[in-house]
Each structure stands twice: as C-alpha cells, then as structure tokens.
Amino acid sequence: MPKKKKLMWTRLALNDRNELFYAHADRDEAIFTDEAIDEVAEKLVTPTETGFPGRVKGTMEAGISDQLVLVYDSTDSQIRILRILSTASLP
C-alpha cells in the first residue's frame, strides 16, 4: 500500500487562507470555506487522490468550490500547497 504523503503549506498559501477567512462577513460561511479548504488539502495526501494539471508548469490544481482553486505541487513524499486562488482572478 502506498505511503501517505506529508502536507506542507507555503507562507503565501497560508496568507491566502487567512485573507479568505477574514474576508467573509458571515462567520459561519468563513468556517465552512476554511473547512472545505482543509478537506480538499487532506484528500490530496492520499495515494489515490489527484487534481488536474495546473496553469503553471509543474503545478497541479484541485477545485475547492466554484470560486476557489487550490494550487499545489507534489513529490514522492509530500504535497506542497502553493496558493489558494479565486477563479474570478484567473484567466
């Protein structure tokens, strides 16, 4: 059975996550969004879970919602969360 990968967050990704949390006017909505981000990130460390090729070479993306995308890269031993982006800001 393949080994579970280690999950790492870059400073930029953590900043994105904090900004998203504090941008919500509704506290319950902020908590729901934060939990959705965590759920998607945790799924990525399992051997069977993958996203789709990212817009930048060497990256992958996983949808969090219709409005948010988790950008990450992967090695044999870890998943590194690079950014959390709003789909409204993507080309």
Domains of the chain by residue range? 6-86
Which is it for strands 6-9 and 68-74: parallel, antiparallel or unpaired? Answer: unpaired
Q: What whole-number distance in Å separates Cα of residue 49 and Cα of residue 54?
A: 15
| Phi, psi for 22 (deg, rounded to 5) | -80, -10
* The predicted structure's pLDDT at residue 89: 67
Positions in the chain whose pLDDT score sits under 50: none
> Model-level pTM?
0.88
AA letter at 51:
G
Report H helices in the chain: 11-23, 27-44
Question: How far is the C-alpha of 88 from the C-alpha of 62, rounded, in Å?
Answer: 15
- The CATH number fitting domain 6-86, selected from 3.30.110.70, 3.30.2310.20, 3.50.30.30, 3.40.50.2300: 3.30.2310.20
